[in-house]
Structure 1
């Protein structure tokens, strides 16, 4: 086995040569990994914490309108109904 000193001053022994990723690829890999983890968490949340949408829609009619509720309550007070 031969030992060679390369131009950076490190010792390289024969067969194996260590390669490093470019900094751009390291950052891109980190971002893609993070997005995959977030995607997996959102899918698990949707699967395990699923509410019955029909029940939810019946309770709120699809939206909450607090101003309309206050106005309706005031009208009931005025008319006495």
Structure 2
């Protein structure tokens, strides 16, 4: 079974992704070689944005796309991400 990309809830429309957010920092510095180039993404009217490098999905809290049950905003009713 394949693992789904990570979903991150955020209250900001502008988010940063470097692919290494889940890597433990050593002395406050994450090793860049274990992620991808840092990119800034903007959440639009859909209420979410996906990183083009790692497919991590950032979902705006309070938007209709935000579903605490884990359902994908693009999935038909009854289907989860």
- TM normalised by structure 2 equals 0.20
Q: Name the structure with the higher strand share.
A: 2
- TM normalised by structure 1 equals 0.20
The structure, 1 or 2, with the larger RCO (C-alpha pairs under 8 Å, 6+ apart) is: 2
Tell which structure's C-alpha radius of gyration is larger. Answer: 1
Q: Name the structure with the higher helix share.
A: 1
